Amino acid sequence: MATADEIRGQIEASRTALRGALEGADAGAWEQTLAGDEWTPRQTAEHVIGAERFFAGRVADAMLGKAPERPELALASPQDALAALDAAVEDANRVIRYVEDRDLTKTAGEDSSIQATLEMMATHVAEHATQLSGS
């Protein structure tokens, strides 16, 4: 079983990959659907960055804490997405930094644990980072 610190490390690694993908994103293609993809890079960024607060909210609920606000995102450029990512990460970290190993088995959502939710967060970010980087 992974520790809370190990899972936070996975989340940070995924976020680093997402940041790199956004830094390398072509602003001229921000609104264009890529081959084999249903979403534009903008839509993908809005989705994955918004999900940071969603996952953090599930963890906050499980720990009887305050969930972060989930503002509507309208990211007109990769630079806007980077700024929104910074804000979302800050909000999510306010929640997940308090998770300790003993909390990982707590129920988060209808059929998930805090551990599964945090692992899903890491995987989700990594998948969309790969999608945005075109890898």
pLDDT digits (tens, 9 = 90+) for 92-130: 999 999 999 999 999 998 889 999 999 999 999 999 999
- In the block, which residue shows the tokens 């659907």? 33
Residue 135: pLDDT over 60: no
- Write down the pTM of the prediction: 0.94
Structure tokens belonging to residue 65 = 């804490």
Instruction: Give whole-number Cα distances, 1 to 4, 5, 6, 7, 125, in Å.
Output: 10, 12, 10, 10, 21
pLDDT by residue (tens digit) across 87-100?
999 999 999 999 99
Instruction: Provide the CA 16 distance to its chain's centre, in angstroms.
Output: 11
**What structural domains and CATH numbers belong to the chain?**
4-24+42-133 (1.20.120)
Model confidence over 48-85: pLDDT tens digits?
A: 999 999 999 999 999 999 999 999 999 999 999 999 99
Closest CA to 134 of 71, 70, 41, 56: 41
**What does the alpha-carbon distance between residue 135 and residue 131 come to, in Å, rounded to a whole number?**
7
